[in-house]
Structure 1
Amino acid sequence: MKVWSRGIARVTVLVAAAALLMLALAACGGGDDNGGNGGGDGAPAGAITVNMTEFKFEPATIEAQTGEITFNLVNDGTVDHDMHIEIPGNPQTSELVGPGESATFTVTINEPGEYEIWCTVAGHRESGMEGTLKVTG
């Protein structure tokens, strides 16, 4: 009978330890489940996540408020990509982001409107890697 009791005690301890480990892992997880507009994957809080592949931005239409806008650019493709925003009088282009990498890109836009975005890598815009940034006040 004592052997059986020790076996149950060991199983109970193992189950409790596994439950605590799962709870700890769940607490550390915390993905970004709000449409890519959060700070998941090391991006700053409030950053807009834009996935780049051959040859598109996802989402292709991005909405933001006037002021400082931060993007978390994630290259899910197999070649370098960037993001260019055609701001009249002050066009902005991010750094090149390598395959499997991500980068933060921050711009300031104080005028509501629609701004064209595209990838400046040769041939990418012509292949359809473009979109729209809709900025509202």
Structure 2
Amino acid sequence: MVDISADHEPDHDLTLDGHASDVKHDDDAVLARNYSDPGEVIEITLHAVDGLSWRFEPSVIEIPAGHRVKLTLSNEGLVEHDVEIVGVDAEGIDVDSGVERHDRLGGGHHEDGVVAAHAEPGTTASVFFTVTEPGTYKYFCTIPGHEEAGMVGKLVVTN
């Protein structure tokens, strides 16, 4: 398994209409590259931070298509948070058995191109999936007001 995460200030200028090759790679991006074994699980920890600066860390995640991903939402804030990745062509969606079910999201799910996970304050929730098609996908917190406060990011899936 490969574990990638970040713990620094993200850049909230997210343009989601470009192609993966147009994405600016800088210090706030977490890149998962050079994986020769498609069976290798890429573990990504996405930190949900609230308070004075509402954000996800990292704000940009890059992964190769066809690899199994374990996305763990670590809620380090004082209120509930979730993460949804929209429009993603994913397969093999599986929620960590330790995830407490959320009424609306069900802990983690894949429905109509959405991969999601939910975590109460001080907890984590994981969802496993494999993205089959390259592209750029938005992720955000669906709790009212959180996306507008800055809890957004993008997942870049490369060939």
> Is this a same-fold pair by TM over 0.5?
yes
**Rg (Cα) greater in structure:** 1
Determine helix, strand or coil for the equivalent of 1:99.
coil
- How many residue pairs get aligned? The number is 96
The answer on whether the counterparts of 2:4 and 2:43 sit within 8 Å (CA) in structure 1 is no
Match of 1:93 among 116, 121, 125: 116
Q: After TM superposition, which residue ranges in structure 1, 4 or more long, deviate above 6 angstroms?
A: none
Residue 66 of structure 1: aligned partner: 65
**Higher relative strand content:** 2
Match of 2:46 among 34, 47, 50: 50
Determine helix, strand or coil for the equivalent of 1:82.
strand
Letter in 1 for 2:81: H
Query: Deviation of residue 35 (structure 1)?
Result: 4.3
Letter in 2 for 1:69: V
The 2-side partners of 1:112 and 1:46 are apart by 16
Query: Deviation of residue 49 (structure 1)?
Result: 0.9
- For structure 2, which runs of at least 5 residues remain unmatched after alignment? 6-29, 31-40, 89-111
Query: Deviation of residue 46 (structure 1)?
Result: 3.1
Structure-2-length-normalised TM-score: 0.55
The 2-side partners of 1:66 and 1:109 are apart by 6
Identity of aligned residues (%): 35
RMSD: 1.9
The 1-side partners of 2:122 and 2:137 are apart by 27
Query: Deviation of residue 92 (structure 1)?
Result: 2.0
Letter in 1 for 2:42: G
Residue 142 of structure 2: aligned partner: 120
The 1-side partners of 2:129 and 2:84 are apart by 11
**Higher relative helix content:** 1
The answer on whether the counterparts of 2:81 and 2:143 sit within 8 Å (CA) in structure 1 is yes
Q: How has the CA–CA distance of structure 1 residues 70 and 35 changed in structure 2, closer, same or farther, with 3 Å as cutoff?
A: closer
The answer on whether the counterparts of 2:75 and 2:81 sit within 8 Å (CA) in structure 1 is yes
Determine helix, strand or coil for the equivalent of 1:132.
strand
Residue 42 of structure 1: aligned partner: none
Determine helix, strand or coil for the equivalent of 2:82.
coil
Query: Deviation of residue 114 (structure 1)?
Result: 0.6
The 1-side partners of 2:123 and 2:58 are apart by 18
Structure-1-length-normalised TM-score: 0.63
The 2-side partners of 1:46 and 1:109 are apart by 12
